[in-house]
Amino acid sequence: MPCRYVIDIERRLVATTGSGVLTFAEALDHQNQLTRDPIFNPNFFQLLDATRVTQLEISSAEMKALASRPVFSARSRRAIVTSRLADYGMGRSFQTYRELAGGEEQIEVFQDMQSALEWLGMPKSFRAASR
């Protein structure tokens, strides 16, 4: 499965990593796994590293459906990091759809990891393992 995550309780961070071909079903499954995880806290921040995603098989309608689900709270910051221009656009679409769905968390899309880590307030040396 190309979508994995680690919950770092000390840093109050969910570090999600996507790789390969990422589908709607896998993204939806990731959201479901998070909400069922006993240590998940919707107030935590999220770092979504999509720099190793080679193809995103998620339509605009499916992106809208993912964005309509309130997984994180208004206190959360969510950084999406992409390396491909098309994925950057989909990240911005997710951000817009989430706002339209009433999401109050802060979401930003980045093309470099360092900027995302700084925005989240993480140390430069931060590295997350994924499960």
Q: What is the pLDDT of residues 68-92, one digit of tens each?
A: 999 999 999 999 999 999 999 999 9
Domain residue ranges in the chain: 3-120
Q: Are the C-beta atoms of 106 and 76 separated by less than 8 Å? A: yes
In the chain, the percentage of residues whose pLDDT exceeds 70 is 93
Tokens matching residue 63: 């992106």
CATH for 3-120, options being 3.40.50.720, 1.10.357.10, 3.30.750.24, 3.40.140.10: 3.30.750.24
Q: For position 130, what pLDDT does the model report?
A: 42
Q: Is the pLDDT of residue 48 over 80?
A: yes
